Structure 1
Amino acid sequence: MRTCRLIMISNPDLFHWTNPDILRRPFIASPDGGDFTYRDLLRLVGCWRGFIRRQGYVKHTRVALAMSDSPHTIAATLALWCEGHIACPLNLHWPAEARGTFLSDTLGADVCIAFPPADLHLMKGAAEPPGVGLSRNDIAMLLYTSGSCAAPKGCCLTLANLLGNAMAALRNMPLGMGDVWLLSLPLFHVGGWGIVLRTLLAGSALALPDENSPVPARVTHVSCVPTQLARWFEHGIDLSGLDAVLLGGAPIPGRLAEGATHRCIPLFTTYGCTEMASQVSTTRPCDSGDIESLSTAGYVLEGHEARISEAREIWLRGPCLATGYWQNGTVVDFRNAEGWYPTGYFGYFDRAGRLCVLGRKDNLIISGGENIQSEQVESFIFESGLVSRCVVVGRDDMTWGQRPVAFCEWLEGGDEEELVTYLMAYLPRYKIPDAFLPWPAAEMRRLKIDRRMFQDLVQPRALNNAR
């Protein structure tokens, strides 16, 4: 096994932005100049603290937040931490029944706030300056994993986890007070909170997404998944003026990295997970434009440890590792007997020490005794230039056990015969999908692929029902 070197990180102050020099600066930058300042944030946090105190919550109350991405969600979370409570952001895209199940059974939340109180602006704010009412090792947030391959799990993240990860990311990609990071990832996702916390620690600003302008004016930094970046390319969005584009959340096609380089976009590739409070590894500023570097997940960040097990699985540990999963009122430790978190991803370190992520263990298709990694086949399908999106899953087969099947969203002019011809030049025959199915309408707007849904669609019962 190979392990990277562990470097401890310092203890950041979450509320250093209450410094008078920062209070006048924008916290949420508006293209028209109507900024929401740090002073506005301080007032809003005070109002939320007044509201929370009026509710009489017992310390460490779990409070579910079912609100849209807005200053209120950020201020409410900071206020909960000031008062010693646990914030539990909910995915508003979940069906109401699913949210109810998580609230009552899985999360066991004591209360749910679905919208700001109408009289919030009348609340008397807390008189004392804000300060965290939790110890650094108390659970501060329950964040659910994406659940792209399994049921979502609630990660118990402490302030030490969250702030430590944000500081490690800032050391690799520094932010200045004049920088503006687009809040392009939702606040029920660890990536969204990574953006917020890095911004707060740096005293820089956020920008909220605009339906009419994917990358609003004044934005300098963007986080996105490959699907988002591909869409921006398709719509001719100019990103060359940005200081950084942080790309992760899914395997990154080489064609996409090359497209960014040709467009002079300062691209950073990254690998992260909820269990480590966001980023695990990221390329360095000097790697931008280097296709070889951008085909990896970069170097493991300070304060993290990564190891490749004998079974080629990526293992993680360090001060940013969550305390466990929340399951029916109990924190369940997910570390193995050796004290590591086994991620479920295959990977390796290249000769330069960069982490390379191959794919998930549960995306491995075994066909006639041969191993087929779904992500490898998907990467070659992407490289053909014939599709904008694809996913490969295994379909049960009486002869071979399983056979690969691909769902494709075709680009104009793309067709199956041309794609098969392309794949046969690069892949052995047993890795080429037996069928190429159209991209489901239900998945058109999703940025993160739900592999379980695709897996269900190719099983015999689903296919029979579809006929």
Structure 2
Amino acid sequence: MTDLFHWTDRKTLVRPFLLSSDGDLTYGDLLRLVGRWRGFIRSRQYAKPTRVALAMADPLHTIAATLALWCEGHIVCPLHLHWSGEARAHLLETLGVNVCIAKPPEPRHMNDVAKPLDIGLSQHALAMLLYTSGSCAAPKGCCLTLAALLGNASASLRNMPLGIGDVWLLSLPLFHVGGWGLVLRTLLSGSALALPARNAPIPAGVTHVSCVPTQLARWLEQGVDLSGIEAVLVGGAPIPRILVERAVHRDIPLFTTYGCTEMASQVSTTRPNERDDFESLSTAGHVLEGHQVHIAETREIFLRGPCLALGYWQNGAIIDFRDAQGWYRSGDFGYFDEAGRLCILGRKDNLIISGGENIQPERVEGVILESGLVSRCVVVGRDHPTWGQRPIAFCEWLEGGDEQELATYLSAYLPRYKVPDAFLPWPSVPKSQGLKIDRKEFQRLANHSLNRALESENRKNLTRQSRNQGFSSPTLPSFP
């Protein structure tokens, strides 16, 4: 297995590991902090292996505590910092966690432990319980091994090498698999991380950035200086072609990627020589070394390989999610293009079935964004008495954009049944606080808007009845 602690040699210990507005920390500082965490963990005398939940806002302590727990033979369970206390308590009970660390111990409780560092877990044993995003369904506890986590980081580095002087912005949270991908790639390469600054989206000195398409669009709109960036890795959702074109025209070195928690992060990524190729960057790139991808007749993506998780945690045990041939059904739809690049169509969970026709909302969203009339949008299905569901679009309009112009544009590029029935304003305070859009919340808002429309129509009918002293049945709003 890849040596997680190769950075403990003398030359590397003096190099920067974490850059922030409060000052820089070296690999030597990290080593000392890991030692103190080991001292604290040993003093607690946890039975091995104990599942330990981490809910600290401090990324340095979260990283150091994780490394220390692995050294001492324990399992790490990072928790979403924005979950409510009730949700967190439920998940702790589900995981069977008896220990939850929400803040660093006082210094007097952290005694340094002698080095060298070594891993107290087998490479194929459960090392991290990481929850999926839950943007489409309930989050699931994914059981990842060190072999999977480090294998994925190594495969990513073979495609996009890092070295001394490279600094990756820690823009992804450490309760997300993408955040741990950044950390492990940094440790394996001896490069550095940088914390986001309050007054700048991308602090000076950063060379590599990870983001979702919406973040990239925001940076371009705000004129954020990306001139010193060597790589912008975009994932989490299909990237609209218009966004690719805007970025490439500004000489932004894009890499597009597809991944999931179950595969310990990246599955496919574009290559360095494709950074200005529109066609390549409109895909999710080539499958990384060691990963296997199979496209079923239904176009569902199946995944397999040494980075695949052991399964999901359920009722105190690991439930294997693989089929008889070792494949995992991702729930994503996609295909390979003629150049062998993986193209993502969208999530199976998001599929809208309207009058027996399948509508993939991500594809509709892509066409909406390409209109140049909106800055962001989400398409969800709204209940309909005749068709089962009809697509509804939430839009954040750019100056000059309007519903009629967008509807006309979409009619030229989409079949009529795929054109949304309504364009609702973007919520002022969307509840989604993760990296991905919370489609369940937008679904709720869409159906709430329908209920309000029905109530309004009923009130109009009652008013007409009282005026005419007659009776008429409440009517539903019309749909094209």
Which residue among 322, 339, 363 is the counterpart of 1:335?
Answer: 322
1:385-396 matched pairs, under 5 angstroms: 385-396=372-383
Tell me what 2:445 maps to.
457
The range that moved more, 136-145 or 410-419, is 410-419
Out of 443-452 and 373-382, give the one that drifted further.
Answer: 443-452
Instruction: Provide the residue aligned with 1:4 in structure 2.
Output: none
Taking the aligned partners of 1:244 and 1:205, their CA distance within structure 2 comes to 14
- Are 2:6 and 1:16 aligned? yes
1:57 aligns with 2:54: no
1:369 is matched with which residue?
356
Amino acid at match of 2:451: L
What do residues 109-161 of structure 1 show as CA deviations (whole Å, max 9, x unaligned)? 120000001235x6221113111100101111111101110000010000000
Deviations 1:202-231 (A, max 9, x none): 000000011211110110000001111111
Q: Quick check: 2:259–2:267 contact (8 Å CA) kept in 1?
A: yes
Q: CA deviation at 1:445?
A: 7.0
SS at match of 1:91: coil
What is the rounded CA distance, in whole Å, between the counterparts of 1:259 and 1:327 in structure 2? 44
- The aligned amino acid for 1:235 is Q
2:35, 2:115 within 8 Å by CA — same for their partners in 1?
no
Secondary structure at the aligned position of 1:239 is classed as: coil
Q: Distance in 2 between matches of 1:335 and 1:245?
A: 33
Q: CA deviation at 1:31?
A: 5.9
Deviates more, 1:106-115 or 1:279-288: 106-115
Q: Which residue of structure 2 aligns with residue 198 of structure 1?
A: 185
Aligned-pair CA distance for 1:69 = 4.2
Alpha-carbon distance in 1 for matches of 2:55, 2:251: 39
Q: Give the TM-score normalised by structure 2.
A: 0.92
Contact 1:31 1:217 in 2 (8 A): no
For residues 276-287 of structure 1, the aligned pairs below 5 Å read 276-287=263-274
Cα deviation digits, residues 404-445 of structure 1 (max 9, x gap): 111111122221111111111111111100011111233277
Quick one: which of 299, 320, 344 aligns to 2:286? 299
Cross-structure match for 2:89: 100
User: In the alignment, what sits opposite 2:150?
Assistant: 163
Q: Which residue of the other structure, out of 247, 257, 261, is the alignment partner of 1:274?
A: 261
SS of the counterpart of 2:444? helix
Name the stretch that deviates more: 248-257 or 160-169: 248-257
Specify which of 16, 32, 54 is matched with residue 26 of structure 1: 16
What whole-Å deviation, never above 9, does each CA across 1:13-32 have from its counterpart, x for those lacking one? 00000011100000012468
How far apart are the structure 2 equivalents of 1:462 and 1:328?
38
**1:3 alignment partner in structure 2:** none
Q: Deviations over 1:279-300 (max 9, x none)?
A: 0000000000100000000000
Superposed, which structure 2 residues align to 1:322-361 within 5 Å? 322-361=309-348
- Structure 1 residues 153-302: aligned runs within 5 Å: 153-302=140-289
After the TM superposition, list the runs of 4 or more consecutive aligned residues in structure 1 that deviate by more than 6 angstroms: none
Deviation at 1:344, TM superposition (A): 0.6
After superposition, give the CA deviation of every residue in 1:53-100 in whole Å (9 maximum; x if it has no partner): 010101110000011142101000000000000111111111111111
Alpha-carbon displacement from aligned partner over 1:306-334 (angstroms, at most 9, x marks no partner): 00012111000100000000112111111
Deviations 1:381-412 (A, max 9, x none): 11111111111111121211211111111122
| Amino acid corresponding to residue 252 of structure 1 in structure 2 | I
Contact 2:37 2:111 in 1 (8 A): no
Number of residue equivalences: 454
1:35 maps to a residue whose letter is D
Which of 57, 64, 76 is 2:65 aligned to?
A: 76
Residue 325 of structure 1 aligns to a residue whose secondary structure is strand
**In 2, are the aligned partners of 1:281 and 1:355 still within 8 Å (CA)?**
yes
2:197 match: secondary structure = coil
TM-score, normalization: structure 1?
0.94
Q: CA deviation at 1:338?
A: 2.9
Alpha-carbon RMSD across the aligned residues, in angstroms, is 1.6
| In 1, Cα distance between equivalents of 2:58 and 2:118 | 23
Q: 1:444 to 1:156 in 2, by over 3 A?
A: closer
Secondary structure at the counterpart of residue 429 of structure 2: helix
**Cα distance between partner residues in 2 of 1:365 and 1:278:** 27
Change over 3 Å in CA distance of 1:399–1:445 after alignment to 2: closer
Of stretches 194-203 and 413-422 in structure 1, the one that deviates more from structure 2 is 413-422
My pick for the range that moved more, 450-459 or 425-434, is: 450-459
Query: Match for residue 43 of structure 1?
Result: 32
SS of residue paired to 2:383:
strand
How far 1:178 moved relative to its partner?
Answer: 1.0
**Which is higher, the Rg of structure 1 or of structure 2?**
2
Distance 1:25 1:373, change over 3 A: same
Any idea what SS the aligned residue of 1:406 has? Answer: strand
3-state SS in 1 of match to 2:143: strand
Residue 110 (structure 1) aligned with residue 98 (structure 2) = yes
Bigger Cα displacement from structure 2, 333-342 vs 275-284: 333-342
Residue in 2 aligned with 1:7?
A: none
Structure 2 residue runs of 5 or longer lacking an equivalent are 457-480
Q: CA deviation at 1:460?
A: 5.8
1:457 touches 1:463 (CA, 8 Å); kept in 2? Answer: no
1:89 is matched with which residue? Answer: 78
Aligned mates of 1:464, 1:333 — CA distance in 2: 44
* Distance in 1 between residues matched to 2:354 and 2:374, nearest whole Å: 25
How many angstroms apart in 2 are the aligned matches of 1:366 and 1:164? 38
Provide the secondary structure at the position in 2 that maps to 1:425: helix
Are the equivalent residues in 2 in contact too, given 1:64–1:88 (CA < 8 A)? yes
SS of alignment partner, residue 413 of structure 2? coil
* Higher RCO (C-alpha under 8 Å, 6+ residues apart): 1
TM-fit CA distance, 1:461: 8.6
- Local SS of the residue matching 1:275: helix
